[in-house]
Amino acid sequence: MPDDCGCGAPNTFSSKEAKGDLERYLEDGADGTTRSLIDAIVGEGIESASVLDIGGGIGAIALELLAAGAAHVTSVDATESYVDVARAEIERRGYGDRATGRFGDFVELAPEIEPADIVTLDRVVCCDPDLVGLLGAAAGHARRIVGLVYPREWWWNRIAARALGVWGWITRDPTRWYLHQVRDIDGILGRAGFRRRDIDRTLIWQVALYVREPASAGRASDGQVSADPRTGRLPRPGA
């Protein structure tokens, strides 16, 4: 059965867990799939770029991309303890003036958040039943790239998702693990002008970059949201 998504589901992860996750990161660095996502983004060019990290957790992506030359990172997480722990570590490293932490549900906060060159969702789509709302809002905020880590569509993950659902019902734990279909993810981001690049796969997770096609890049270059935040669809020509 997979580890928890680490996406900061509200009222699920405590301050103790957040501090423990930070200690593991400081000792061992970013884990395998997170490291693959970070390396792929850096390879696409991060210098002076802005980043929006949805479900930022303890700030591993923010810290790594700031160190690699990102101009600014905005992290959003639905667990306040993770936001606090990430902010403290970012400030300790001297990046406080280049980072913003927001507590809350990204889809609800989306109208208040500026678009960014790069948007990341590391093990986030697996924690949200509203795939269209989440990815539509994410795509609408991305000028260049959307980076994802999400579960593979394999039978063992389907069993794990059902088992976690039953266990959550028994223990009254609100955490759920959703196994969204890749064709749905590709469809939402494709309609917003992004095309998939596979980066890495493990037994459970897969890493992919969705890169905006040149014809769509101009629409987002002025910093305006280019896709409907609920559907992920681009507006009709002339709209």
pLDDT digits (tens, 9 = 90+) for 47-70: 999 999 999 999 999 999 999 999
The reported pLDDT for the residue numbered 233 is 41
The reported pLDDT for the residue numbered 160 is 60
The reported pLDDT for the residue numbered 181 is 85
Lowest mean pLDDT among 119-133, 143-157, 208-222: 208-222
**Mean pLDDT across 214-224:** 51
- Give residue 171's pLDDT band: very low, low, confident or very high (50, 70, 90): low
The reported pLDDT for the residue numbered 161 is 57
Q: Does residue 77 surpass a pLDDT of 70?
A: yes
Q: Does residue 155 surpass a pLDDT of 80?
A: no
225 versus 173: the higher-pLDDT residue is 173
Lowest mean pLDDT among 1-10, 69-78, 115-124, 138-147: 1-10
Q: Does residue 168 surpass a pLDDT of 80?
A: no
Around Cβ 101, how many Cβ atoms within 10 Å? Answer: 23
Whether the pTM exceeds 0.85: the reply is no
The reported pLDDT for the residue numbered 17 is 83
Q: Which residues of 216-233 are buried (b: 16+ CB within 10 A; e: fewer)?
A: beebbeeeebbbbbebbe
Full set of structural domains in the chain with CATH: 15-213 (3.40.50.150)
